[in-house]
Amino acid sequence: MSFEVRHRLAIAALATVLITGCGAEGPRQAGPAPTTVGGTSPTSSVPNSSGPDTSSTSEPTTRSEAATTIPTTSSSGGPLALELLGLITVENEHADGYDRTLFAYPTTFGGGCDTREMVLKRDSLTPAQVDTFGCKVVAGDWLSLYDGLHFDQPSDVEIDHVVALKEAWDSGAWQWSASALKAYANDLVDVRTLRAVSMTTNRSKSDKDPSNWLPPDANDVCRYVSDWVSIKARWNLSMDNSEFGRIRNLLLGQCADWRVDPIDAVATGAPAPSTLPAATVATAAPAGTVYYANCTAARTAGAAPLYAGSPGYRTALDRDHDGVACE
């Protein structure tokens, strides 16, 4: 089955259940626009993660058959992560030519704030304190999901590309246009792409995939793997055999009930990423839908805490997965 056919099938399948996603940008050679689903390149202060590729590249190339439909979503969210995994192409990685500078990370958004500052402000559990210019974050409250640690100083927090820039490159981004590389590296549309995490976990993860690294907090493994699958499907990135096998085993075992949330819409009031391809901007939530971009927005609206099943609740806001978000 040709790439173009597989890509169209994947997008069509995802569009049936995740209706708040992004439009298509064109053929893969021009860089894939995110589909309807919903890393380790740290900030510039972190050593370049372009070291040896630790994932398997010598195994025979195989391909998973892209499903033409995804089962109807349940009240708990989108499709099972295992079902979404079936849309992923399995093939050997392309390990040549990676250059981190090609991704233009970080970039500066409207108002002069760069990607790191935007993620720090977004992920702070309480309103982040900023300097007089409104961009540089000087204090906040961050929960590093990978190890469950809290931090209040931005110098202790690094921004992780969940699917690292090098991993993305090896998995298909080597064919993308410059604008698509930039869009991926600076994606503020889907909160799963970039995470504020502890320095220790960011550097231990480096550019590894789940066959080589999982969060040290066992309670975060299923969320992490589900997010990984979502990102790879959204950006039409492939997996190698060892990566696919480890994820599949987890989704058949301890993570069997994990479902994939729809992609988040652009947060109200956030700077429009005008420097990025328009196709990366998600559509707004349907009229009448209660949506909070983050816990700060929920608290400002007087809606926090949010309980599972109540308007505005979504698992992305429930960081400890106890059914109560923004407590």
Q: What is the pLDDT of residue 308?
A: 72
Q: Which of 245, 260, 299 is nearest to 14 (CA)?
A: 260
> 9 versus 83: which is more confidently predicted?
83
Do the Cβ atoms of 90 and 6 come closer than 8 Å? Answer: no
Give 213: exposed, middle or buried? Use CB within 10 Å, 0-12, 13-18, 19+: middle
Which tokens hold the place of 210? 């789940």
- Which run of H or E residues covers position 297? helix 295-300
pLDDT in tens, 211-260: 999 999 999 999 999 999 999 999 999 999 999 999 999 999 999 999 99
Mean pLDDT of the chain, nearest integer: 74
Return the pLDDT at 271.
29
Average pLDDT for 97-117:
94
Q: Which two tokens stand for residue 195?
A: 């995470």
Q: What is the pLDDT of residue 311?
A: 80
- pLDDT for the residue numbered 325: 82
* 319-326: average pLDDT: 71
Please report the pLDDT score of residue 306 as a whole number: 84
- In this prediction, residue 276 carries a pLDDT of 26
Task: Say whether pLDDT at 20 is over 90.
Answer: no
20 alpha-carbon distance from chain centroid: 15
Write down the pLDDT at residue 321: 61
Weakest mean pLDDT among 2-11, 209-218, 240-249, 313-322:
2-11
Q: Fill in the amino acid letter for 79.
A: P
pLDDT tens column, 232-242: 999 999 999 99
pLDDT for the residue 19: 34
**pLDDT for 33:** 53
Mean pLDDT is lowest, of 26-35, 97-106, 215-224, for: 26-35
Q: How confident is the model at residue 142 (pLDDT cuts 50, 70, 90)?
A: very high
- Cβ neighbourhood burial of 5 (10 Å; 0-12, 13-18, 19+): exposed
Q: What value does the mean pLDDT take over residues 171-194?
A: 95
Average pLDDT score over residue span 194-214 = 98
In this prediction, residue 104 has a pLDDT band, given cuts at 50, 70 and 90, of very high
Beta bridge partners of residue 306, listed in sequence order: 325
Give the model's pLDDT for residue 151. 98
- pLDDT for 88 equals 93
Q: What is the pTM of this model?
A: 0.63
Widest CA span in the chain: 56
What pLDDT, in 10s, does the model give residues 251-308? Answer: 999 999 999 987 543 232 222 322 222 222 232 333 345 767 678 778 878 888 887 7
Q: Which of 146, 124, 37 is nearest to 88 (CA)?
A: 37
For residues 163 and 176, what is the distance between their CA atoms, to the nearest angstrom?
A: 16
Dist. CA 122–CA 176, nearest whole Å: 28
